[in-house]
Chain A
Amino acid sequence: MAVVVLLSILYPFLKKEDNKILVFAAVSLSDPLKEIKDIYYQDENINIILNFGGSQTLASQISKGATPDIFVSAGISPLNFMKRKNVRFADSYFLLSNKLIFASDKQIVDWDKKGIEEIIKSEKINRISIADPELAPAGEYTVQAINNMNINTFIEKKIIKAKNVRDAVNHMRLGLSDAVFAYNTDFNNYKDNYNKKFISEKLYNKIQYPIIIFNNHDQVDQFLVFLNSDRARNIFEKYGFSKP
């Protein structure tokens, strides 16, 4: 009898909802997707359920049987992982991209006119934080760009590695470093004054955010259309993301 009572308490939690779309997404997309979720619910009355996590972890969960409708990953290696694990999906394409920037909160005269190489050489820049390339994709892109800029020789001594790109940004904020290589999106919440330079996109592989679609019911398709609309794009750009 106790079991019946227990089950009846739990049933509301168990019932399958129809008006929903389950989306797995990288944590870095938390802010823009939350906004999009709210707007979409207001317009269409459909619940976008957002499950945020590390892209690799999410890919792993999917390979073990999780069944989201959509998965937006930061970077392509999770996508390759799923392909290797023979995870079946309906479609995939690049939804967004991110840009690598160099930023500093130190006052540098004529920042806009000077090149990165010149700024790096400056006395005011003693330590530069980057994400550890062995631990974070952002680090890999950074090292790629640095190699292609031919500034290895005099930048090597100034580099401090952080566990991930967010920690790298925090280094600068806490005063542990004077400049940082990071994603454009990391500076959206940055409150202090800073200067940034976009690093030429020729110097590193494009930082792509693929979207993987697992089922193409009408409801999902309709949402995808919205994701690709100007309105959604503007929200993504507000947070520092760029077109794919």
Chain B
Amino acid sequence: MVIQSLILTLEIAIIATLINIPLAFISSIIVTRTEIKSLKFIVDVFISLPLVLPPVVLGYFLLIIFSPAGYLGQILTNLGVEVVFTKFAAILACSLVSFPLMARAIIIAFDSVDKDLEKIARSLGSNKLKMFFTITLRESFFGVCGGILLGFARALGEFGATIIFAGNIEGVSRTIPLAIFQSIQTGDDKNLTLLISCSVVLGIISVIINNILISKSNRKYK
């Protein structure tokens, strides 16, 4: 049970993170680069909202939209696709909840690149696009990695939205946080200890990786 939950947790968190990476990049680029104020505001709201709402609320939100009774749900059912209480639902829930963390961290990373560096790059002949790829992305690389790691760590620990939208189904959505919940509810102390240990180990690994990123970044930046 523990191993299954561990594998499921990693699988769901990794896929959710992979989905988030392009979305977070696009959002961050829009927020940091665009001059269209209304567009920037809309994207900013999308980034902030899942951060502010409790995960359980986000779960209900997803449930209402995707359930066969909802608008989107009806379309999907007609296509022969079912989302709620599936692994995909768990992926979607994790993705939604961890997206703002990743996006915000990437925005901070982009903004932390000295504007003077960007100016110099342009004076050396790079247009805005080339400057973004060769300077901004490159100089913010470790910050961006940190943001992705942050999103991943959050996805590992996601509980509220998952249990509402994807349920507590063994092998499908019972990630480690939900398995811990299940063990507490059924009084399964043996698995509980193992699961909590897993959780702690995952957390420690995340911290170690984060520290490695920071030290690599410090080596290049006095």
Contacts and interface: CB of A to CB of B under 8 A. Distances in A.
Indicate if A touches B (C-beta under 8 A).
Answer: yes
Interface of A: 2, 6, 9-10, 13-16, 22, 24, 27-28, 30-31, 34, 49-53, 57, 61, 64-68, 166, 169-170, 186, 189
B19 A65 contact: no
B167 A64 contact: no
A27 B182 contact: yes
A21 to B, nearest CB: 12
Contacts of A15: 80-81
Could you say which of A2, A30, A31 has the most chain B C-beta atoms within 10 Å of its C-beta? Answer: A30
Contact of A50 (B68, B81, B169): B169
B67 A64 contact: yes
Interface residues of B, number: 34
B168 A51 contact: yes
B87 A13 contact: yes
Contacts, number: 84
A166 B184 CA distance: 9
B203 interface: no
Contacts of A10: 15, 88, 91
Contacts of A14: 81-83, 86, 88
Interface of B: 15, 18-19, 22, 60, 63-64, 67-70, 73, 80-88, 91, 163-164, 167-170, 172, 182, 185-188
B60 A64 contact: yes
Nearest to A30: B186
A66 B84 contact: yes
B67 to A, nearest CB: 3
Contacts of A16: 80-82
Nearest to B173: A51
19 contacts: A2-B22, A6-B18, A10-B88, A13-B87, A13-B88, A14-B82, A15-B80, A15-B81, A27-B182, A30-B185, A49-B172, A52-B168, A52-B185, A53-B167, A57-B164, A61-B60, A67-B67, A67-B69, A170-B187
B67 A65 contact: yes
B20 to A, nearest CB: 11
B96 to A, nearest CB: 15
A64 B63 contact: yes
A2 B67 CA distance: 27
B199 to A, nearest CB: 19
Given A6-B19, A14-B88, A65 B83 contact: no
B67 A66 contact: yes
A67 B172 CA distance: 17
A170 B185 CA distance: 12
Contacts of A34: 170
A175 B64 CA distance: 46
Contacts of B88: 10, 13-14
Contact of A53 (B22, B82, B168): B168
B81 A66 contact: no
